[in-house]
Amino acid sequence: MTDRPIRVLLIDDHALIREGLRAVLSAREGLEVVGEAPNGAQGLALVQDLHPDVVLMDISMPAMSGIEATEAIARTAPDVRVLGLTVHENPEYFTRMLSAGAAGYVLKGATSEELVSAIRSVFLGGIYLTAGMAGFLGKACSARTGEPAGGRFAPDGLTPREGEILELMAKGRTNHEIAELLHLSVSTVQTHRANMVRKLGLESNQHLIMYAIRKYQPTLDAYVEKP
């Protein structure tokens, strides 16, 4: 995966939560907590100073929310992967966070194993969704395409194969998982992704993931629980 630890930055307004996260992650081989911040504004400054691989981002914070901070990171440090961390198991927060540019969404009630898996998944280029949110997205994919998830779907001039890969990306699959599901090599999946970035006029793989989420979001909005 990498010959160095995955560098993680913690952004959460609760000191006890940051302390607990640091303890859990620091005990895991291959992970290194490089800093922490109590709000989005300070977190943005640390992103520029520390250049972490993954930011573990609380969503609900005063002054600057995690959604606002994620948008700023996507603009200024697009190579940094943001993983949303929240108590809200609500599709509205889920869609807003991913639309802001986050690469994943995990609940604060998750096990340490799930949290570590989520960090590693987004670091490798995938999208990590909690089981409940993945279920909402799966329904949206099926409703939008008119057939089960994984069916043919070729939006905006993409080939059917590229459409399949785009759909699986939106569901949080990594390159290795997509390759296994579609019986392709990992290098072929990477080539398809690069071709989609070029065809769609995007700047990076991160923007392609954001595109994939937004492509499905109009249908997903129908499942959002309104207050």
For 112-142, write each residue's pLDDT tens digit: 998 998 899 889 877 777 755 555 555 444 4
* Token pair belonging to 223: 């499942």
pLDDT at residue 65, as a whole number: 87
CA distance 97 to 74: 11
Residue 67 has pLDDT above 80, yes or no: yes
- Sorted by where each starts, the structural domains of the chain and their CATH numbers stand as 6-129 (3.40.50.2300), 134-223 (1.10.10.10)
Q: 89, 130 in Cβ contact below 8 A?
A: yes
Report the interhelical angle of 175-182 vs 186-199 (nearest 10°): 110
Of 43-47, 63-67, 133-137, 177-181, least confident by mean pLDDT is 133-137
122/98: higher pLDDT: 122
| Phi/psi at 142 (5° precision) | -65, -40
pLDDT at residue 220, as a whole number: 47
Of 155-164, 167-176, 218-227, least confident by mean pLDDT is 218-227
| pLDDT (average), residues 147-162 | 62
CA distance 7 to 76: 18
